[in-house]
Amino acid sequence: MNVQALVARNIRRLRVAKEISQDAFAADTGIDRAYVSRLESGSENPGILLLERIAVALEVEVGELFRKPEPGEKEPMTLRSGRKPGRVG
């Protein structure tokens, strides 16, 4: 697994484990939600200062973003999408 894919996997793993939505995570890090999606898919390569902001938002050390998965460790799940409140007539 290349470093970019490893970081992407760990961002998603940590965010989902803390049950933080992409919207909330984007607000916490000061980046666009679409950019969060691209980071987690591995199509964007974050700079070192952004990695630091991500680690702070996830309450982990920066090194945790580079943790290799254990053998047999499953891919991170996705959070369930919330429903928008219905309109009251």
DSSP structure string for the chain:
--HHHHHHHHHHHHHHHTT--HHHHHHHHTS-HHHHHHHHHT-S---HHHHHHHHHHHTS-GGGGGPPPPTTPPPP--PPPPPPPPPP-
The reported pLDDT for the residue numbered 87 is: 41
Average pLDDT over residues 55-77: 88
This prediction has a pTM of 0.81
Give 29-41 pLDDT, tens digit per residue: 999 999 999 999 9
The reported pLDDT for the residue numbered 89 is: 42
Domain ranges of the chain: 3-65
Does the pLDDT value for residue 5 go beyond 80?
A: yes
Measured between alpha carbons, how far is 41 from 21 in angstroms, rounded to an integer?
Answer: 15
CATH code matching the domain that covers 3-65, chosen among 3.40.50.300, 1.10.260.40, 3.30.200.20, 3.30.450.40: 1.10.260.40
- As a whole number, the mean pLDDT across the chain is 86
CB 74 within 8 A of CB 15: no
Does the pLDDT value for residue 26 go beyond 90?
A: yes
Does the pLDDT value for residue 82 go beyond 60?
A: no
Average pLDDT over residues 60-77: 86
